[in-house]
Structure 1
Amino acid sequence: MESAVVREVADRLLLAYAKGEPTAPVIDSQPGATVEDAYRIQQEQVRTWVERGQIIKGHKVGLASRAMQEQMGVDQPDYGHLLSDMFHLEHHPIPAGAYLQPRIEPEIAFVLGKKLSGPGVTVADAIRATEFVVPALEIVDSRITDWKISIVDTIADNASSGGVVLGSKPTALSDVDLRLTGCTLQLGGELVATGAGAAVLGSPVNALVWLANTVGPLGIDLEPGHVILPGSMTRAFPVKPGDTVFANMGDLGGVTAVFGS
């Protein structure tokens, strides 16, 4: 894909949020677009956001569980960037109107204490680099009309990144087996899903390793202090103004997101 086309598509996606209106799938206008093209489109938008004053605070792995791949109709993980304006405080109203088609999903967030630079990162490296984990709720959103996304569309759309709410109880990896960590997800006080860490590529740690080794060859390092979202333990659920979402992750604690207008 030519650089001018990459910029054109990136501008169209940026305009979707500015106007508050989803846009047609990227793959409709660019049927020959590849995964590599999609990441170039994503990077163009990230550059724009950083130029506007945002700070890269971490990364997310998307579509890491079978449940999410089946829900979205794709067959591989992807990654996106987490910017400083995506982070929301627990129990503080999140402006739901700032999103187009928001959904929410529970994740175990890694907070890094050391840099991870791929390729060649192992599980041992990832464990050593992790300072602690916290329960998290990720808001995913799509600038593609009706969530009709291919893998190219979601990657170009920054892996459908929208927002993050982090819990406040840090836990060392040595104190928990993330594969066996269970999760219950409540929406409006009603239990809507259950899941476990093993649903995320066998272990959320594997998702962290995948991410480091995928972005490393592109010149991207995972830095100390970065928040890494490894993927959802359940399918994603639509949210609207007035909703309260609570995820309980046992020994990891819980996390609550409240949506305002």
Structure 2
Amino acid sequence: MTNKAELLFKAYRDNAPLEKGKFNFESTQEAYQVQDDVLALKEENGEKHQGYKISLTSKETQDLFNSDSPLFGQMTDVTVKKDASLSLTDYNEPLLETELVFLVQEDVNGDDTDEEVMRKCLVAPGIEVPDGRYDDWFPKTTFYEVIADGAVNGAVVYGEAKQYSYDDVKNIEAVLYLNDQEVKRGNSEEVLGHPVNSVKWLAKALEERGEKLTAGRFVSSGTFMLPERLEAGNYRVEYENVGDVQLTVKP
């Protein structure tokens, strides 16, 4: 267990952010090892690994972090807000992203076809709340810092999950509302061309680590639009063909 992991876990537990640049990372592998160690500390604290979030799924977001590939973070059961509400005071500097959430019903393989992945997963309209364990983190943290911090995961909420085809979620629009006022719009093509590509990328990335994307996990597959700063109010995202999801944010 590294000192980096212990400090990141303490920052998470106490909601006390660390100074950016506090850690030096030598490689992507080291950053993921720290992420694994932080997850282990969360599990020792009673949390359960439940899913993944995928970040940097558009060229725009990759450019922000000087990357040419996505990255993933592991999320626990406490990050899933089943009552669709949260409080700003529980987070450091939270954002909001519009993402489809894939609920894995059957193990997904890295070489599965698009159609096989869609058959093996249910899809739900989702909202993901990124939050970093560093001060003034977005978009000023490094690629390695984001990985070590579990892809800056904070929370996820999702609506009704159903079976969809590849074409059902191809080139669809999401509209974000705050207190019934439209904030912005985004398209599923921003997610590696199609959200299923994000899930396939994750399955391959896990296999390279000797792991598997297994049934029972969720995957928050990547945002349709650049994130918004989270503020108090009532959010709603309407997804073409997929339905809507709501999140209440308390001060």
Q: TM-score, structure 2 length as denominator?
A: 0.92
Corresponding position of 1:246: 236
Q: Does 1:93 align with 2:88?
A: no
Corresponding position of 2:206: 215
Corresponding position of 2:74: 81
For the residues of structure 1 that align with 2:165 and 2:214, how far apart are their CA atoms?
A: 21
2:178/2:235 contact within 8 Å kept = yes
SS in 2 for 1:159: coil
Q: Does 1:46 align with 2:39?
A: yes
Corresponding position of 1:135: 125
Q: Does 1:198 align with 2:192?
A: no
Q: Does 1:150 align with 2:132?
A: no
2:114/2:166 contact within 8 Å kept = no
Identify unmatched segments of 5+ residues in structure 2: none
Identify unmatched segments of 5+ residues in structure 1: none
Structure 1 residue aligned with 2:250, among 232, 255, 260? 260
1:121/1:212 contact within 8 Å kept = no
For the residues of structure 1 that align with 2:59 and 2:31, how far apart are their CA atoms?
A: 22
For the residues of structure 1 that align with 2:120 and 2:162, how far apart are their CA atoms?
A: 14
For the residues of structure 1 that align with 2:173 and 2:215, how far apart are their CA atoms?
A: 27
Question: Over aligned residues, Cα RMSD in angstroms?
Answer: 1.9
Identical aligned residues as a percent: 25
1:103/1:236 contact within 8 Å kept = yes
**Paired residue type of 1:201:** L
For the residues of structure 2 that align with 1:243 and 1:41, how far apart are their CA atoms?
A: 34
Q: Which moved more, 1:157-166 or 1:109-118?
A: 109-118
* 1:26-50 alpha-carbon deviations (Å, 9 max, x no partner): x5531x5211110000000111111
For the residues of structure 2 that align with 1:101 and 1:191, how far apart are their CA atoms?
A: 22
For the residues of structure 1 that align with 2:181 and 2:222, how far apart are their CA atoms?
A: 22
* 1:109-154 alpha-carbon deviations (Å, 9 max, x no partner): 1111101244x34434322321x11100000001122112111010
Q: Indicate the structure with greater helix content.
A: 1
2:157/2:247 contact within 8 Å kept = yes
**Paired residue type of 1:145:** D
**Paired residue type of 2:124:** V
Corresponding position of 2:225: 234
In the TM superposition, residue 189 of structure 1 has moved relative to its aligned partner by 2.7
Corresponding position of 2:3: 8
SS in 2 for 1:180: coil
In the TM superposition, residue 205 of structure 1 has moved relative to its aligned partner by 0.3
Q: TM-score, structure 1 length as denominator?
A: 0.88
In the TM superposition, residue 84 of structure 1 has moved relative to its aligned partner by 0.3
Corresponding position of 1:126: 117
Q: Does 1:116 align with 2:114?
A: no
* 1:159-193 alpha-carbon deviations (Å, 9 max, x no partner): 0110011112x332228531221101112333221
